[in-house]
Structure 1
């Protein structure tokens, strides 16, 4: 048996017809499927037999993903439609049916739009990511694999996806120990095998903002040692990559989000008090004032 399901185009999984593969991960693959009514979905498939691997850790991760998606309702998070088991070539598949996002992922989008993607575009996407992540953290969920490739685009709106590494904190726990994620996006405390909590995601969010603004990683991803050295000794990172410059308040925001020590890293309260959101309020206020002026002077 193959480790990851390899479905063929036009295969059927229950009533869903496979139209192509969207991606592959450590334990499963995601396919574009269509139902008898012509509705398109994304279908994540994992062999049930793999649930027992790593002392049952694989099964726990898959259950965490489903539990997390069932808790989340934000328009900026990919929606869970249903889960079910299905037989495929004599093997039992566990299937997660998800909302389909036709725009691909944010990494692909940035590569395609790099010549025209600017600070204003970055801020629009980033604020949507923050709205989704705010609900995730309010539900005490650590995503643990936040990166551009796991943020999808649907009708010009972002959708945070791939909760395969997430962890739901219980009422008695604020930190965990398990090195999961992607080098370059992981917080240093995760790589150092130190206890970590929700603030680890804040580091990853900072990496994403940096990538949106500069189209590059803030620190070297050559290897783990080089990455940790730069986080420790070259922090804050350069704010002049790829010939791009940003406003000072964004540099200040990145500096606080990418701090090595999670205790000193920016939290949600300070983030929403930052100039990033003050600017939004100011723009809305000016728009309201202009509308009142227009009404009163007609």
Structure 2
């Protein structure tokens, strides 16, 4: 990829012939403004653009830049660049293990010089819409909701099969592409095989309202008193808990909190409530299913609602 700072366009050079694409901002500010704020440490972790072929001959792509360029010094900026690198590494791993059908596909990646600053970036396929947008405008039958939950479950299962935990599941990070739901935004992922923790000790990992108990405790619990033994490890079972909250949101548009009883579950299906939702939303990890067990629990629901 080559970026033209004057024309505000980029060239994706992998094709024959190379194509020039116009950049259209998707987020709230231009990337090229970032180097005017060097050292401020403010703003989102990344800026996302649509790359459009002016001649409409090629599909649109999305380009995601890490906001923390090479001139921003310090452990905070270094960690953000490291997380961006890990996101790219996870996407490439999905390609290597043939799981990329369940994630937004990566097309290109590297570092680009813009205005005297080096920005990490990657290029990916463009989604049609995200889950939050879809649920805000569509009225779904119960069977359609089951199909939707099943598609997201399979995508998360593919991620876990290659040893990656998402840890930031929310409607904004689930995308529809073509005819399939895919997972995106891997900025908070963890790799199962790694023996070091990139997270700060009390860092909030995950979306507000959908945090697992261990993510909540990591950020807010009394961890200084040795009297208390508190699980603050955010892993595959944390994804299952977040997915349970996401399923509840899909079924009835609310975020589940407090002690849940069947009367709270307005769709009125006891099998889904007892065998899917309640096991996923257990406080203790040992009582939650892993992703394979959850998939097995889901099989009778698929048969009941004729979901293939």
TM-score range, shorter chain: 0.7 to 0.9
Residue of structure 2 equivalent to 1:240:
264
Alpha carbons 1:143, 1:201 under 8 Å: kept: yes
Residue of structure 1 equivalent to 2:123:
97
Deviation at 1:17, TM superposition (A): 1.5
Gaps of 5+ in 2: 12-19, 30-42, 219-231
Q: Tell me, in whole angstroms, the C-alpha distance in 2 between the residues paired with 1:140 and 1:175.
A: 16
Q: Tell me, in whole angstroms, the C-alpha distance in 1 between the residues paired with 2:196 and 2:154.
A: 24
Q: Tell me, in whole angstroms, the C-alpha distance in 2 between the residues paired with 1:150 and 1:266.
A: 23
Residue of structure 2 equivalent to 1:54:
76
Q: Tell me which of 239, 246, 251 is aligned to 1:201.
A: 239
Residue of structure 1 equivalent to 2:39:
none
Aligned length: 259
Give TM-score, length-normalised by structure 1.
0.77
Residue of structure 2 equivalent to 1:224:
none
Q: Tell me which of 238, 251, 254 is aligned to 1:213.
A: 251
Residue of structure 2 equivalent to 1:26:
44
Secondary structure at the residue paired with 1:56?
helix
Deviation at 1:129, TM superposition (A): 0.8
Secondary structure at the residue paired with 2:124?
strand
Q: Tell me which of 78, 84, 90 is aligned to 2:104.
A: 78
Deviations 1:118-165 (A, max 9, x none): 321211111111111111111111111100111011224211100011
Q: Tell me, in whole angstroms, the C-alpha distance in 1 between the residues paired with 2:175 and 2:246.
A: 13
Q: Tell me, in whole angstroms, the C-alpha distance in 1 between the residues paired with 2:75 and 2:194.
A: 28
Q: Tell me, in whole angstroms, the C-alpha distance in 2 between the residues paired with 1:119 and 1:52.
A: 50
Deviations 1:66-95 (A, max 9, x none): 111111124221111110222223322221
Alpha carbons 1:152, 1:160 under 8 Å: kept: yes
Deviations 1:44-79 (A, max 9, x none): 012423585416211221111011111112422111
Q: Is it true that 1:64 corresponds to 2:86 in the alignment?
A: yes
Q: Tell me which of 124, 128, 143 is aligned to 1:120.
A: 143
Q: Tell me, in whole angstroms, the C-alpha distance in 2 between the residues paired with 1:110 and 1:205.
A: 16
The more displaced of 69-78 and 10-19 is 10-19
Deviation at 1:237, TM superposition (A): 5.7
Q: Tell me which of 161, 165, 173 is aligned to 1:150.
A: 173
Alpha carbons 2:103, 2:155 under 8 Å: kept: yes
Give TM-score, length-normalised by structure 2.
0.75
Deviation at 1:189, TM superposition (A): 0.7
RMSD of Structure 2 on Structure 1 (CA): 3.0
Alpha carbons 1:74, 1:132 under 8 Å: kept: no
Secondary structure at the residue paired with 1:94?
strand
Gaps of 5+ in 1: 1-6, 220-229, 288-298
Deviation at 1:11, TM superposition (A): 2.0
Q: Tell me, in whole angstroms, the C-alpha distance in 2 between the residues paired with 1:203 and 1:157.
A: 23
Q: 1:130 to 1:239 in 2, by over 3 A?
A: farther
Q: Tell me, in whole angstroms, the C-alpha distance in 2 between the residues paired with 1:141 and 1:88.
A: 32
Residue of structure 1 equivalent to 2:9:
12
